[in-house]
Chain A
Amino acid sequence: MTSSNSRWDGWPGRVIPPMGVIGAIVALWWWLVARDDSAIFPTPLAVVTGAWELVQDGTLFEHIGASLMRVGIGFGLALLVAIPLGLWMGWVTPAYRTLNPVFQMLRPISPIAWIPLAILWFGVGNLSPVFLIFISSVFPMIVQTVSGVHTIERRYLRAAANFGVPRGVLFRQVVIPAVLPEVIIGMRIGIGVAWLVVVAAEMIALHSGLGYLIMDSRNAGNRYDLVVASMVIIGLIGLLLDGLTRLLERLKTVRWRYVR
């Protein structure tokens, strides 16, 4: 879309340059560590070996599973709340005027700031991170859904009014599909923040998850190879989650937003 250069359009053009950059970063890292002969900072090889250790004893997948489960529940709940609430606030102006200031106030508060309260209210079980993920992802999704409703072009609403369709049809065939691309953007933002927050939340308490793995590796014998391995895995899963939400953009009913 940005480049008309067809050489970059195929999969090699999309895969090779970013792989090159990643390769360069790894090479630089390796060279720096080897040169300094650092006792504590691991080489890429040590990281891979460490990660392989965790794969073999099965704990890595437990941690990944625990983190993903918390994100899944917290994000899912946020989605269930944000979409109906966002549609309602976008459609009903008094609801928007009443609730928008509250949400705009809650939104900039870092989810990390909620950690003490979360622990106080929900203890150190699964509920705290789920709550934090919910809090962090629900607001961007509400805001995005509302803005989706507000930016529906008037000509489409006029056409719907002209055909005199019942309210249900208006929502199913005009409002919701018109808002869907905006909701998907909200979901991408939401899932990104959720993943950011779950790791942070797990560092504070709990006994599983990738965030816990980082803290535990450091506390239990300065295993910085495992710390870095966890970081890399967190990054990779973040990339994957974003890719999965982007797949939604391929839905036929939202293609109109991304062409032209």
Chain B
Amino acid sequence: MSVENPQAAAGGKIVVDAIRKAFTDARGKQLPVVGGISLAVAEGEFLAIVGPSGCGKSTLMNMLAGFEQPDAGGVRIDGRVVTAPSPKGIVISQQGSVFPWLTVQQNLMFGLNGTEHAETAQERAELADHYAAMVGLKGFENAYPHELSGGMLKRVELARAFIVKPEILYLDEPFSALDALMNLRMRNELLRILGEERHTVLLITHDVEEAIYMADRIVVLSPRPTTIQATFEVDLPHPRRIGSPEAQALREAILAELGL
């Protein structure tokens, strides 16, 4: 999608500058997790970050989204240093965080407290219903999460993120808790919504095919302390076919980088 080389683009939407992060283990030993990562993500780009499990992907995501601060280096969004999470970048993670005590509609309205989205409660409810319909949850507005399936919960989570019009979506293995079929279905669903409302997307995953299916660019991380090992442009038209020779060749190349 993004034709220009984002690295060369002036600044970029997200600029990560040599960030490092170490944790202290129980014995007081320093455990470096992220070992110096620099990258730039262009506005509207879909970037996938692939890496072996336990390599520090989630730590990286936490720093990008502002939940953790790097020990060194910095993350800038639109030129401003990220110091805390903000509704400009919404995180969707594997475990999900739809509030079980709120109905679907109340969940969707949760982030709409600022007046920039909707003035009245009536408008907020209408907006919520519009987004519920967009993710295929029409008729379930007043259902509670425990009455929904795993796939429907993910849709609620996506809608709750899209409704606040975030500039960036941080997806941390968003569909990996779903069964294989629902996983595939949600990929298409996500791409369809992104077709309607373009966002900058950062996808963290261990699923190479998922990355190839959706991303414009794929960054492969090394084991801990993680650094960028390789970058692949995915120059294939949508809808992509994983079985196509180009996609398979790309998959082989990425798996080779991962040592498989």
Contacts and interface: CB of A to CB of B under 8 A. Distances in A.
Interface stretch (A77-85, A141-149, A160-168, A215-223): A160-168
Contact of A165 (B101, B111, B146): B111
A255 interface: yes
Interface in B105-157: 106, 110-111, 113, 144-146
A87 B99 CA distance: 19
Interface residues of A, dominant DSSP: helix
B248 interface: no
Contact of B101 (A161, A163, A166, A253): A253
A177 B111 contact: no
A163 B90 contact: yes
Contacts of B84: 161
B85 interface: yes
Interface string A76-107: 00000000000000000000000000000000
B97 interface: yes
Contact of A164 (B86, B99, B101): B86
Nearest to A176: B101
A158 B94 CA distance: 14
Interface residues of B, number: 25
Interface residues of A, number: 23
Which of B93, B99, B102, B144: most chain A CB closer than 10 A?
Answer: B99
B117 to A, nearest CB: 11
B82 to A, nearest CB: 13
B87 A162 contact: yes
A232 to B, nearest CB: 39
A192 to B, nearest CB: 25
Contacts of A171: none
Nearest to A169: B113
A164 B164 CA distance: 11
Contact of B110 (A158, A161, A163, A252): A163
User: What 7 A-B pairs have minimum CB-CB distances, sorted nearest first?
Assistant: A256-B100, A177-B101, A159-B97, A163-B111, A155-B97, A164-B87, A162-B85
